[in-house]
Structure 1
Amino acid sequence: MKIAIDISITDKTKTGTSIYVLELIKALKKDLPQNIELIYLRGPKSIKHKNIITQILNVLIQVYWLNIKIPLKVYSQKIDLVHFPANIVPFFRFCKTVVTIHDANFMREPETYNKLWSKYGLIQYINSSKIANRVITISEFSKKDIVKYFHAKEDNISVIYHGCRSLPINNDVYENNFGKYVLFVGGAFPSKNLPRLIGAFSKTSELNLVITGGEGSDIDNVKNLASQLNMKRKRVFILGFVSDQVLDQLYRNAHMFIFPSLTEGFGFPPLEAMRYGIPVTSSNSGSLPEILGKAAYFFNPLHEDEISESINIVSGDDKLRKKLIEEGYERVKKYSWKNCAKLHLNEYIKVFNNDFK
């Protein structure tokens, strides 16, 4: 059996979806049966300069890749099944198809997304739910949203949790110039709720805040708020995207980790923090209570006072910190890329054997 995976997303972003695709491929290759061949489909790169014209061009490039180039590759290479791991499939089914739809966040928090993209996304996600032989998603929370917003059949959706990756260890001497800090990892997008996080830090006094991740659409607003807080003394450090080696050191040296997202389909960073033995405080929205369980201290992400209170409580209560660290070590054991790959492979085989629609 020839299985193709569309890995185009890995050339476009460094978000959680890219991590998922890369880690899944690594795990699949380790235990792949001899009668299965994996083929990787890498599409054209997006135009980086962002304006309305390039956004439209990027959509057209994606439509061409999905609906013309991939079918031609499937036909010429005699591929049996294609997995589309980044939410969107072609407008018609030309072979057996599996899609991973990660969440419906643009429907749940529409004010935090581009309106034009959201309209396009809604059409595509509904199409994906109908066209694919099988839909995979990453949490029970996301499954409910996919049924609600995209009208997918509940019995055609499988929930497969991600694993928790191991970052490369950096043995170089690391100079911590941030003092005693709380770490946030993620892109500067409105859904990540960074303005409220910075507002909450204005109500604390001892700790600093380190923000690292891609420069999303909310980055200018985040930088402006950080500069206002930094007028008296520098307390907020915005690092942008850093290598995995640097991220390893940021986790190791953090006093605690915070994740204030308005909604999440899964949420890699708090699990990574738990793996490093860092106490985690997190938003109680989206899938985060499902994924993190009892291993995090939760707060309402809409209330700055609750965010700042959670920081003070987790920072100052040694007994609570010890409990969260111990619970975190146990929680991450639940998330294995090996198991994730095994369950994906089972879905591929079932689709190939017509065990689903």
Structure 2
Amino acid sequence: MDDFIFGSLATEELRLRHIRSLREGITHAQRRAPRDPLPGQPVSLELTLGPEHPQQQAWAYWTNDGSDPVGQNGQAQNGYATPLTPIDAEWDTLVWGYVRRFRGQIPGQEPETVVRYRIAAGGPGGEVYADEGAFYAYYVDNDPPPAWTRDAILYQIFADRFFDPSPEFPFTEPKPSLKCNGTLRGITAKLDYIAGLGVNCLWLTPIFPSPSYHGYDATSFYEVNPRLGTKEDFRQLLNEVHKRGMKLLMDFVPNHWSNQHPTFVESQKDKKSPHFEWYTWKTWPHDYKTFFGVKTLPQINLRNPAAREHVLGAAKYWLDFGVDGFRVDYCIGPSPDFYAEFRRVT
């Protein structure tokens, strides 16, 4: 049986199409160095132009105050404009032409700065933004990963299937539900067993309210699924984990959530909803951007400031609650500038 690959690169044809589009287009694709700059450290940006693009100039528009950069033809209207200069050209047999490379540098910044940028090419053919106009960002600080992560031995727990002390466990509802009756208290009851395996970090699959057994389609990022327990149960679990010198990671899905999420239900009924722009509507109300075309998983428009702050606020909420970090699901889904803000918050 052939291995199943989930996603947009599942076949050789799709992978080839993806590589061709990168080489043919006006592409940045987060090519910067260093990726994690220290305070005062300049950041180099690269851009490639495929053979069908005649533009002879390129530049980066950027800001360091959290706002979106705005500019036109190399002149900044909000923030700054930094030129990118041509450095070489390489023949590419796949696209049968020369792919040109440009490079520029954003100067070093103060600690705790979010630098947000876009890259464009201009000249003959007009100004065109790289990567379909994507906004990128990076966070400047001297904040290496916590020391404990270097020696972490993780144990993943599927929360609703792991354990519950009641004699009814395990019980699984018939299809299509497949929900089981594992609980947070059940995890707490097994901590000595888990610690005895040599584990020092737990990774819980999503524990948010959700219509599914797996929880990757949350209806709230701020609550605990009542099937699994309460916030007090979760606090007790955290306390017992930390007593044993262990850490706990939550599974966090910033890209999408359930179509039963109250903000989506409201937006699908009313275009005047304050949450309407939390989603990318192709044709309202039934055609919208989703996780790989799954209609029950609308994608969150993290370019919308209110939606982004809602998701970032949830991450901060659980860190303040006591969790030690996150395992981020489908991390390539959110807009490219999201994770600079995520790092700032976490």
TM range (shorter): under 0.3
The structure in which a higher percent of residues are helix is 1
User: So what's the TM-score if we normalise by structure 2?
Assistant: 0.26
Between the two structures, name the one with larger relative contact order (CA 8 Å, sep ≥ 6).
1
Larger radius of gyration: 2
User: So what's the TM-score if we normalise by structure 1?
Assistant: 0.25
